[in-house]
Amino acid sequence: MLTEECEALLARQFPFWDKLTPEERKRFCESMAPVHYDRGTSIHSGSEECVGLLLVKTGQLRVYLLSEEGRDVTLYRLFPGDICILSASCVLEAITFDVFIDAEEATDLLVMNSAVFHALADENVYVRCFGYELATKRFSEVMWAMQQILFMGVDRRLAIFLTEELQKSGGDTVRLTHEQIARYMGSAREIVSRMLFRERGRCAPLARRHHRDGRGKAPRPRGKIKLRPTKARSVPLRGTFKKRYFFCKNARKCDLVTE
């Protein structure tokens, strides 16, 4: 990368930047390489490789666990401005579990060489502290995902997922398909569809894309879910939100609207 562009970007993304010497900054920049991944590309596959530190410029990454039977559990996703350190797990001895990383859409990254980051972490305590602080943050997200899967019902997990997606977008619409929602939640598409299309206590038939459904209404476009605020009881969620959204088992009292 060009030194000027690199320094301006890294100064915004890494809090330890002003603690580096000029030579360390130069090494840091020279080790960063721009990489583009198409949608669906596997970036990191468990312990087979140590890609390095990833800085997301555009796009989206999914970090997940994969069993021997082929089942996967999404741990968290990364968006522009986020940094992934689990892809450089060979640098931090305390990280002993393997994760997989895929590009969920066309993604541009800055990849830092693992050996260089390891050397800088050994030489500079601020770099080392940043690495462990970031790993701790990601581990907290992993524990939150496991807590939901192990101790919460699907209805509450779906409510939490949709509300957190609204917090990220800043609007009232989640632009994801049922298949994507199920994969990110660690559930099945059929279960997500059943809960989203439930009406008056029973499952409403799904309208096909080019036909009207049995009630004479035009089919709703796919890949978009809209929620509206309600004064009814809200599910307890992690964090504080300006608006709270309600989702419940009793569809007659739900204020969840799909479009």
> Which tens digits make up the pLDDT trace of 170-211?
777 888 888 888 889 888 888 888 888 763 333 333 333 333
250 and 222 fall within a common domain: yes
* Same domain (yes/no): 32, 93: yes
**Do residues 18 and 82 share a domain?**
yes
Indicate whether 244 and 199 sit together in one domain: yes
pTM: 0.73
Number of domains forming the structure of the chain: 2
Do 51 and 87 form a contact (C-beta atoms < 8 A)?
yes
Residue-wise pLDDT tens digits, 18-59: 999 999 988 888 888 999 999 999 988 866 567 888 999 999
258 to each of 74, 122, 153, 228, how far by Cα in Å? 24, 52, 21, 10
Q: What is the pLDDT of residues 211-255, one digit of tens each?
A: 344 454 444 556 777 766 555 444 444 443 333 344 433 333 334
Domain region containing 189: 154-258
- Looking at the structure, do residues 136 and 162 belong to the same domain, yes or no? no
pLDDT for 114 beyond 80 = yes
